[in-house]
Amino acid sequence: MRGLVQRVVEAEVDAPDADGVREVVGRIGAGVVVLVGVTHTDTDADADRLAERVAGLRIHADADGRMNRGLLDVGGAALVVSQFTLYADTARGRRPSYVDAAPPEQAEPLIDRVAVRLGELGVPVATGRFRTHMRVRLVNDGPVTILLET
């Protein structure tokens, strides 16, 4: 499982509703956007571990301006968005292959589990809408972008 974590000042994601009208489905203030990719061998334990790593990742400034505080320390939120393209294989040609990405039936419950586990840890969570064409808007803070793998 991969999580691309971006520290943000604010972020939101929109997606089409059943009628195709775009609506904001998730919005946060300061915290992190977590783009989550799932591969075939990922399990519930991987989802739990990713959530725990995100919650404790020390990428927020302390009183001295050093990245020494975690999401829980600063009271930040998380916007969790599915991102199968994190498993793109670009080794050959110009068109990425996505054979390493888990099928939606496997990926969706694991991404949901990441969001639920973050909430259980005390992090306010917003999410995207699985299997839709989402648009994510964010103000990256730093910028700080970290790739986590479990």
Point out the catalytic residue in the list 6, 39, 83, 127: 83
The active-site residue, picked from 41, 85, 132, 150, is 85
Q: Which residues contact 62 (CB under 8 A, 6 or more apart)?
A: 68, 69
**Which member of 6, 39, 43, 84 is catalytic?**
84
Asked if 132 is an active-site residue, the reply is: no
Phi-psi region of 105 (alpha: psi -120 to 50; beta: other; left: phi over 0): alpha
Structure tokens at 64: 């001295």
130 catalytic, yes or no? no
Biggest alpha carbon–alpha carbon distance for the chain: 50
- How far does Cα 98 stand from its chain's mean position? 18
CA dihedral (95, 3, 64, 137) positive or negative: positive
Enzyme catalytic residues: 83-85
